[in-house]
Amino acid sequence: MFCGFCGFCGQQFSPSFQGPPAVPCTADAQCTIAPFTKCRQRTSGAFGQGPARTITEVGTPAGVCLGDGAAHTSTLVSTFCIPPAFNATVDAAADLPGPGAVALPGDAQFIP
């Protein structure tokens, strides 16, 4: 589960962020270099709508001992923050910086 937002030091009313490299943050107090004094994402996205404050990914474990040599289905999941690319076209199209999530279904097999 991912809680909160993906903050990076940026300008308050501009899609400009400190860097490169991007400077991650959790509060405005961590952003001390003017004019990048606000801890923010490019847009609030889903986090600005109603009660949305988390991203939840649900994976599935293989559920058995992989030592039996058979293939077992599982899904690996992860949530993470994506920093700005510092390319205006890419950042605008992908709404960066912001949260990201991935789910990777597949089979795991241990062959001794």
pLDDT along the chain (112 residues), means of 10: 73 91 93 94 70 77 75 88 92 88 86 74
Helices and strands counted in the chain (H then E): 1, 7
| Residue 7 CB contacts under 8 Å (≥ 6 apart), including other chains | 24, 25, 26, 27, 39, 40, 41
Residue 29: per-residue pLDDT: 95
- Annotated domain spans of the chain: 2-108
Residue 52: per-residue pLDDT: 65
Rounded Cα distance between 11 and 101, Å, is 25
Residue 11: per-residue pLDDT: 93
Residue 81 half-sphere exposure, CB side, CA atoms within 13 Å?
A: 17
pTM here is 0.72
Residue 107 half-sphere exposure, CB side, CA atoms within 13 Å?
A: 7
Tokens representing 69 are 């040599």
Residue 31: per-residue pLDDT: 95
